[in-house]
Amino acid sequence: MSYQVIARKYRPSRFSDITAQEHITRTIQNSLRLGRVGHGYIFSGLRGVGKTTAARVFAKAVNCSRMIEDPVYLKDVTEPCGECESCRDFDQGTSLNISEFDAASNNSVDDIRLLRENVRYGPQKGRYRVYIIDEVHMLSTAAFNAFLKTLEEPPPHAIFIFATTELHKIPATIASRCQRFNFKRIPLDEIEKQLRDICDAEKIQVDKEALQLIGRKAQGSMRDAQSILDQVIAFAVEEDEEKGIEYDKVAELLNYIDDDQFFDVTDAVLERDPAKMLGVARFVIDNGYDEQDFLEKLIEHLRNFLVLHNLRSTRLIERPEPVKERYQRDISRFSPGSIMKMIDVLLQAQKELKFQFEYQFRFELVLLKLIDLAGTGDSADTVSLAEGTGEKKKSLNGL
Ligand SMILES: Nc1ncnc2c1ncn2[C@@H]1O[C@H](COP(=O)(O)OP(=O)(O)OP(=O)(O)O)[C@@H](O)[C@H]1O
Ligand SMILES: [Mg+2]
Ligand SMILES: [Zn+2]
């Protein structure tokens, strides 16, 4: 059998298998039960979070014979049966009731005219023809306008699903004629669980920490997570099948900067230790990490302290337990005010670094500046980093 990438092999074919988007799948299932299917939908959200997948399951569901003919099944299960002729056509990719149209490469008025022609004809089999228009924000204004009429008076058999990663680029005239669904970033623990299920199904051994690392790297996109898993399997498992996928190998492959480095930065600030800070800068530069990427993650590290200050819980910190404990331990050493100041400096530096020539030198300077922030001699600033509630109050007032 030829090799199929994980993202395709494990594409969900039922509503219940679509992770983290229950607010959407439930609404669609309800409208199916009530027989209130709309003609225009906008699916927006990050890359690889299930927009195309949900559109396909939807198309399959509205044409499934069992869903149409068996009211009890429709009410109790509300999933495409996967067995009727229509469902099988969908699964084999031979159904004529679904058309996917890539607006990024077909965005002229002529392309839209062709589509409009096509929309006039009803389905030969089944009830609805579903048109998925991907990357719809890439359509030209003229193309959008050419489409408006169709959307205002759609033939009864047509359902349009507009998918986009950039909702704000869709004209209000189109958006207001559609039901809008915003797909969420997929939480780390759900990505981890999905990857775990895939590894089990593929009989691949894998560390929990390794999966978490892949999940973090994917930043909320399930497709990214699955593609990274593919890459990791090729890299780690084929080298040594017995050992499976281990944290160290994944970290190496992904060129991952360990949390230790970020705690080293905050330690250097607290200890006013420029040598330590320069050590971190050297580490980043010598190992070929991207400085911008490092600053981004350093900001996230500081943001974790802020979250902890405000919520007094590590719930929103997406890290393994031992790292969360480390945040708990360190939190009393920083005031929210001092964290905000550091974040400001880093945000500014991120902007400026883009245009600099002496990049590495500037990068070192920025990190050193963090220490400087803590100890400019001004007493209000100095206490702002210190422990103790009384002192903390003072620093907050100083802001
Ligand atoms: N919510 C999800 N639950 C389970 N798997 C998912 C989910 N979202 C994405 N996937 C996996 O990622 C793959 C790609 O998802 P999909 O094509 O639906 O993404 P998309 O949101 O349309 O992305 P893009 O904006 O890049 O078109 C799917 O084949 C599936 O394996
Ligand atoms: Mg898509
Ligand atoms: Zn069916």
Domain boundary among 216, 234, 253: 253
Same domain, 86 and 172: yes
Residue in 46, 49, 186 to alter for ligand 1 test, most ligand atoms within 8 A of Cβ? 49
Q: Atom 12 of ligand 1 has which residue's CA nearest to it?
A: 223
For residues 191 and 7, is the Cβ–Cβ distance under 8 A?
no
Nearest CA to 160 out of 51, 47, 55 is that of: 55
Cβ contacts of 321 within 8 Å, gap of 6 or more: none
Examine residue 380 and state whether it is found in any structural domain, yes or no: yes
Nearest to 334 by CA among 305, 365, 359, 357: 305
Whether 334 is in a domain gets the answer yes
Q: What are phi and psi of 335, to 5 degrees?
A: -95, 155
CATH number of the domain within which 152 lies = 3.40.50.300
Question: Hey, what are 286's tokens?
Answer: 């010598």
Q: Give CA–CA dist 174/162, Å, rounded.
A: 10
Atom of ligand 1 lying closest to residue 223 CA: 12
Neighbours of 297 (CB within 10 A): 18
User: Do 177 and 301 lie in a common domain?
Assistant: no
- Regarding whether 148 and 102 lie in a shared domain, the answer is yes
Task: Give the H or E element holding residue 179.
Answer: strand 179-182
Cα(90) to ligand 3 centroid in Å equals 9
Count how many domains the chain has. 3
Residue 172 CA to ligand 1 center (angstroms) comes to: 26
**Same domain assignment for residues 69 and 198:** no
Q: Which amino acid is at 215?
A: G
Instruction: Provide residues with CB under 6 Å of ligand 1.
Output: 7-8, 10-12, 18-21, 47-53, 134, 163, 165, 186, 194, 222-223, 226
Question: What does each C-alpha distance from 340 to 45, 89, 135, 295 come to in angstroms?
Answer: 29, 56, 37, 15
CATH number, residue 205:
1.10.8.60
CA of 103 to the centre of ligand 1 (A): 18
List average pLDDT for each run of 10 residues in the chain, which is 399 residues long.
80 96 97 96 96 96 96 97 96 92 88 89 87 92 89 93 93 93 94 96 91 91 96 79 81 85 95 95 87 92 93 84 91 91 94 76 91 59 41 37
Kindly report the pTM of this predicted structure. Answer: 0.79
Domain end point (choices 131, 159, 182): 182
Q: Does residue 309 fall inside a structural domain?
A: yes
Q: Do 178 and 194 lie in a common domain?
A: no
Neighbours of ion ligand 2 (CB under 5 A): 51-52
Is 210 in the same domain as 110?
no
pLDDT of amino acid 353: 81
Q: Which ligand is nearest to the CA of 95?
A: 3
Half-sphere exposure of 373 (CA within 13 A, CB side): 24
Give the residue among 68, 50, 59, 53 at the shortest CA–CA distance from 89.
Answer: 59
Q: Is residue 30 part of a domain?
A: yes
Centre of ligand 3 from the C-alpha of residue 140, in Å: 37
Q: How far apart are CA 15 and CA 25, in angstroms?
A: 6
* DSSP string for residues in 290-305: -HHHHHHHHHHHHHHH
Q: Are residues 172 and 207 in the same domain?
A: no
Quote the pLDDT of residue 210: 92
- Kindly state whether residues 161 and 219 are assigned to the same domain: no
For the CA of 21, the nearest atom of ligand 1: 1
94 Cα distance to chain centroid? 30
Please provide the DSSP assignment of 31-59 as one string: HHHTT---SEEEEE-STTSSHHHHHHHHH
Chain position carrying tokens 């680029």: 169
Q: Residues 33, 141: one domain?
A: yes
Calculate how far, in angstroms, residue 64's C-alpha sits from the geometric centre of ligand 2.
Answer: 22
Q: Which ligand is closest to the CA of 23, given by its number?
A: 1
Task: Tell me if 144 sits within 8 A of 116, measured CB to CB.
Answer: no
Same domain, 29 and 51: yes
241 falls within a domain: yes
How buried is 17 (Cβ within 10 angstroms: 0-12 exposed, 13-18 middle, 19+ buried)?
middle
Its domain, for residue 147, covers: 6-182
Domain-located, residue 279: yes
CATH number of the domain encompassing residue 291: 1.20.272.10
Please, what is the Cα angle at 25 between 24 and 27, to 5 degrees?
Answer: 65
106: number of CA atoms within 13 Å, CB side? 12
Distance 40 CA to ligand 3 centre (A): 23
Residue 1 belongs to a domain: no
On whether both 366 and 267 belong to a single domain, the answer is: yes
Token digits of residue 155: 């033939």
Same structural domain, 131 and 80 = yes
Question: Is there a domain that residue 268 lies in?
Answer: yes
Residue at a domain's end among 160, 182, 204: 182
Q: In what side-by-side order are the strands of the sheet with 158-164? A: 98-102, 129-134, 158-164, 40-44, 179-182
